[in-house]
């Protein structure tokens, strides 16, 4: 009898794990759309510049329109996600993804294109907050890092697919940029259909006095015994929370808020998006002998490096820990950028050396500073303020992204390529020190155990 009970328990555990992975995969399609929509501009700009007669300032505006939408969407994510639930809010993002893709694809002026991209940014901003939060709220503690980082994996796959689409359509015709943008309609439709089969977050349900529904979802996720234990923990943790903005900025929350905001901003102002968004432009302008096809192919190479190291990062998140990965990543980014800066100062330097330094930088970023901040942001705050706090931190992240994207070409024009990347190298060193001094380890702890860390 005992053996039978153990087998039943093992089968339940395997079923629960499979179900959680299924849900995380569906929701992470929004991450794919995030990555695709942010990176596809790298190839689109090459054609858009000629189609609409864009100068550097116009290119920065066209690129930054989506990021401004990201900032606004992330800022409003807590209001929407906390009021209507994670699931309904994500369904809304799928609808906006689709509508904005159609608008940008059919645009016949840079203004209409930018409006379409701005609307797409709203969806990206919403999903960038809600997706990791939803996954964190359904994932077991033992592999929460891996599951939440599935969103980052989906993002880098989206980036790589965007680069591949750009490269594939590059030689077609002058209007091929419309196909580059429009293909995003397919995953937006898949996300919408998939979300119809996804349950609401059990922690959101319990926090909104829908205990029985929350309990049913927990039982489906973990089985009866584990669900009862988690239900008790969630209710106990929620009993002393106000769930207000005052709670977000209260004294016990100052350290986790500092950690979340610091990681969010530093992950972006160290320059990753300068490479991801302007890589093709940079290669084609700095190395005059390169064709558009070659420049776009170099972006594909960067995308593959990003994907491979993200997959490796997922393997280490729950066995090595958050801190070691962040320290390794920020230190490696600094070294890679220092080599890149030195390379640009050598006359006649080989394109391969420059590209190798960039790939090394992206690889280190993808190992730590890419996936880990999303994981930490989604797990270090108490249940009732998680949406608000994650929204604030993600807004800070998109602010950093917007700052770099909107100023990069101007910085290059003023300081040169080496001077601009020297700033990113210094900020990578600052990231290393920030993690070393402030960021704690959260590996293997339940969300409620992490909450107790802050003296609550």
Q: Which pLDDT band holds residue 194 (cuts at 50, 70, 90)?
A: very high
Q: Is the pLDDT of residue 148 over 80?
A: yes
Percentages helix, strand, coil for the chain (3-state, rounded to 5) are 85, 0, 15
Q: Is the pLDDT of residue 1 over 50?
A: no
Q: Which pLDDT band holds residue 13 (cuts at 50, 70, 90)?
A: low
Q: How high is the pLDDT of residue 237?
A: 62
Q: Is the pLDDT of residue 32 over 60?
A: yes
Q: Is the pLDDT of residue 206 over 60?
A: yes
Round to the nearest angstrom and report the end-to-end CA distance of the chain: 43
Q: Which pLDDT band holds residue 239 (cuts at 50, 70, 90)?
A: low
Distances (CA, A) of 203 to 17, 280, 396, 442: 18, 43, 25, 19
| Structure letter (DSSP) for residue 365 | I
Among 2-6, 90-94, 379-383, 417-421, the range scoring the smallest mean pLDDT is: 2-6
Q: Is the pLDDT of residue 4 over 50?
A: no
Q: How far apart are CA 337 and CA 343, in angstroms?
A: 10
Question: What torsion, rounded to 10 degrees, do the Cα atoms 257, 263, 264, 270 define?
Answer: 150
Cα angle value 32/391/441 (rounded, 5°): 85
Q: Which pLDDT band holds residue 259 (cuts at 50, 70, 90)?
A: very high
> Is CATH 3.40.50.720 what the domain over 2-453 is classified as, yes or no?
no
Q: How high is the pLDDT of residue 29?
A: 96
Q: Which pLDDT band holds residue 331 (cuts at 50, 70, 90)?
A: very high
Q: How far apart are CA 143 and CA 100, in angstroms?
A: 35
Cα angle value 256/259/260 (rounded, 5°): 85
Q: How far apart are CA 384 and CA 248, in angstroms?
A: 10
Q: Which pLDDT band holds residue 6 (cuts at 50, 70, 90)?
A: very low
Q: How far apart are CA 446 and CA 236, in angstroms?
A: 13
Q: Smallest Cα–Cα separation from 447: which of 155, 76, 134, 126?
A: 134
Rounded mean pLDDT, 155-180: 84
Q: How far apart are CA 130 and CA 332, in angstroms?
A: 30
Cα angle value 366/201/226 (rounded, 5°): 95
Q: How far apart are CA 418 and CA 342, in angstroms?
A: 7
252 compared with 120, residue with greater pLDDT: 120
Q: What are phi and psi of 342, to 5 degrees?
A: -65, -40
Q: Which residue has the tokens 């704690």?
A: 440
Please give the share of the chain, as a percent, with pLDDT higher than 70: 88
Q: How far apart are CA 306 and CA 362, in angstroms?
A: 6
287 compared with 387, residue with greater pLDDT: 387
Q: How high is the pLDDT of residue 244?
A: 77
Sign of CA dihedral 264, 265, 270, 276: positive
Q: Is the pLDDT of residue 9 over 80?
A: no
Among 179-188, 212-221, 232-241, 398-407, the range scoring the smallest mean pLDDT is: 232-241
Q: How high is the pLDDT of residue 12?
A: 46
Mean pLDDT over all residues of the chain?
Answer: 84
Q: Cβ–Cβ contacts within 10 Å for residue 162, how many?
A: 29
Rounded mean pLDDT, 329-350: 87
Rounded mean pLDDT, 263-270: 94
Q: Smallest Cα–Cα separation from 352: which of 340, 367, 366?
A: 340
| 8 A C-beta contact, residue 328 and residue 270 | no
Distances (CA, A) of 199 to 123, 152, 454: 20, 22, 30
pLDDT in tens, 72-118: 998 898 889 888 999 999 999 999 999 999 999 999 888 899 999 99
Rounded mean pLDDT, 294-306: 75
Q: How high is the pLDDT of residue 391?
A: 87
pLDDT in tens, 267-298: 999 998 888 766 666 666 655 555 556 666 77
Among 96-100, 148-152, 288-292, 334-338, the range scoring the smallest mean pLDDT is: 288-292
DSSP three-state, residue 427 = helix
């Amino acid at each position: 009898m005992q053996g039978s009970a153990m087998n039943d328990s093992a089968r339940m555990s395997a079923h629960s794990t499979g179900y959680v992975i299924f849900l995380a995969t569906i929701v992470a399609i929004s991450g794919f759309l995030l990555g695709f929509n942010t990176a596809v501009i790298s190839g689109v700009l090459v054609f858009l510049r000629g189609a609409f007669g864009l100068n550097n300032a116009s290119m920065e505006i066209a690129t930054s329109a989506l990021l401004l939408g990201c900032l606004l969407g992330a800022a409003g994510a807590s209001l929407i996600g906390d009021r209507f639930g994670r699931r309904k809010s994500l369904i809304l993002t799928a609808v906006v993804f689709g509508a904005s893709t159609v608008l940008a694809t059919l645009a016949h002026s840079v203004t209409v294109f930018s409006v379409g991209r701005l609307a797409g940014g709203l969806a990206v901003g919403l999903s960038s907050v809600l997706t990791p939060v939803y996954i964190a709220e359904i994932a077991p503690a033992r592999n929460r890092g891996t599951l939440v980082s599935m969103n980052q994996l989906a993002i880098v796959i989206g980036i790589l697919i965007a680069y591949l689409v750009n490269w594939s359509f590059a030689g077609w015709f002058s209007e091929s940029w419309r196909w580059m943008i429009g293909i995003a309609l397919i995953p937006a439709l898949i996300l919408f259909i998939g979300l119809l089969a996804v349950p609401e977050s059990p922690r959101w349900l319990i926090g909104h006095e829908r205990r029985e529904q929350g309990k049913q979802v927990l039982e489906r996720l973990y089985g009866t015994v584990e669900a009862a234990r988690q239900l008790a923990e969630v209710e106990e943790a929620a009993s002393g929370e106000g769930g207000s903005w005052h709670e977000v900025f209260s004294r016990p929350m100052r350290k986790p808020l500092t950690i979340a905001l610091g990681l969010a901003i530093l992950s972006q102002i160290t320059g990753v998006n300068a490479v991801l968004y302007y890589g093709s432009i940079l290669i084609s302008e700095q190395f005059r002998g390169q064709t558009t096809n070659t420049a776009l192919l170099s972006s594909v190479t960067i995308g593959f490096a990003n994907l491979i190291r993200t997959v490796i990062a997922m393997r280490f998140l729950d066995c090595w820990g958050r801190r070691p990965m962040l320290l390794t990543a920020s230190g490696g980014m600094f070294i890679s950028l220092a080599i890149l800066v030195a390379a640009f100062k050598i006359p006649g330097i080989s394109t391969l050396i420059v590209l190798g330094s960039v790939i090394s930088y992206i690889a280190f970023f993808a190992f730590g500073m890419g996936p880990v901040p999303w994981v930490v942001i989604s797990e270090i705050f108490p249940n009732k303020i998680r949406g608000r706090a994650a929204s604030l931190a993600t807004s800070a992240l998109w602010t950093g992204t917007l700052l770099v994207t909107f100023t990069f070409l101007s910085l290059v024009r003023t300081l040169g390529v080496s001077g601009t990347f020297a700033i990113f190298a210094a900020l990578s060193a600052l990231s290393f020190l920030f993690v070393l001094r402030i960021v704690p380890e959260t590996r293997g702890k339940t969300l409620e155990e992490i909450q107790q860390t802050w003296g609550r």
